[in-house]
Amino acid sequence: MPETDSQPVAAPLHIREVTAEDAAAIAEIYNYYIASSIVTFEEQPVSAEVIEQRIAKVKKAGLPWLVAEEKGELLGYIYAAPWHERSAFRFAAEASVYLSGKAAGKGLGRKLYAALFDELKETEIRHLMAVIALPNDASVALHEKLGFKKVGEIPEIGFKFNHWIAIGYWQLSDFS
């Protein structure tokens, strides 16, 4: 038998459109951040049913919600939601990205954003906003590597875990 270089083959990462069946896994990822970090200002866990409603709202707005999975396991998600409901804001959306602990620091955030940008090119969205609770060096670094520019900050706007939290606004107007 000939010798072969039998390196293990990494399972392919698959980024696809969300389905309602993903809601429980999304809730599990998101609830970790609710319970343990300031990256979301929510303070109570959310159910799969609440996530299903949020998915439906994003889809109704004609905006993308994508998930990344490997070997059938959901590792992260990203979506673009309307920036504000007033019609003059119809060309702007707010991006949100969350990764499971297994996926952090492996470039998945960039891959999800690349897929989101491709989807947004097919919409009327021209400005993408990221709202980042501060401090959050990893999220700031990710967004700035992708070309987002900081356009504002509001100090001490949120209160979680017994301390005040600032938020920063980053904007990207070119998805190419």
Q: What is the pLDDT of residues 115-143, one digit of tens each?
A: 999 999 999 999 999 999 999 999 999 99
Residue 120 located in a structural domain: yes
Residue 7 located in a structural domain: no
Residue 6 located in a structural domain: no
pLDDT at 7 exceeding the cut of 60: no
Domains: count for the chain: 1
Tell me the average pLDDT of the chain: 93
HSE-up of residue 121 (Cα within 13 Å, Cβ side)? 9
Q: State percent of the chain over pLDDT 70.
A: 93
Residue 2 located in a structural domain: no
Q: What is the mean pLDDT of residues 157-163?
A: 98
Residue 4 located in a structural domain: no
Q: What is the pLDDT of residues 17-26, one digit of tens each?
A: 999 999 999 9
Q: What is the CA radius of gyration of the chain?
A: 17
CB count in 10 Å sphere of residue 52: 19
Confidence tier at 106 by pLDDT (50, 70, 90): confident
Confidence tier at 174 by pLDDT (50, 70, 90): confident
Residue 130 located in a structural domain: yes
What per-residue confidence (pLDDT) applies to 105?
79
Confidence tier at 37 by pLDDT (50, 70, 90): very high
Confidence tier at 10 by pLDDT (50, 70, 90): low
Residue 93 located in a structural domain: yes
User: Global pTM?
Assistant: 0.91
Output the domain CATH number for residue 164: 3.40.630.30
Domain span holding position 128: 13-172
Residue 5 located in a structural domain: no
pLDDT at 175 exceeding the cut of 90: no
Three-state SS sequence of 4-60:
CCCCCCCCCEEEEECCHHHHHHHHHHHHHHHHHCCCCCCCCCCCHHHHHHHHHHHHH
Q: What is the pLDDT of residues 66-98, one digit of tens each?
A: 999 999 999 999 999 999 999 999 999 999 999
- Evaluate whether 37 touches 88 at the Cβ level (below 8 Å): no
What per-residue confidence (pLDDT) applies to 11?
64
Q: How far apart are CA 66 and CA 83, in angstroms?
A: 18
Q: How far apart are CA 45 and CA 129, in angstroms?
A: 25
What per-residue confidence (pLDDT) applies to 103?
85
pLDDT at 160 exceeding the cut of 90: yes
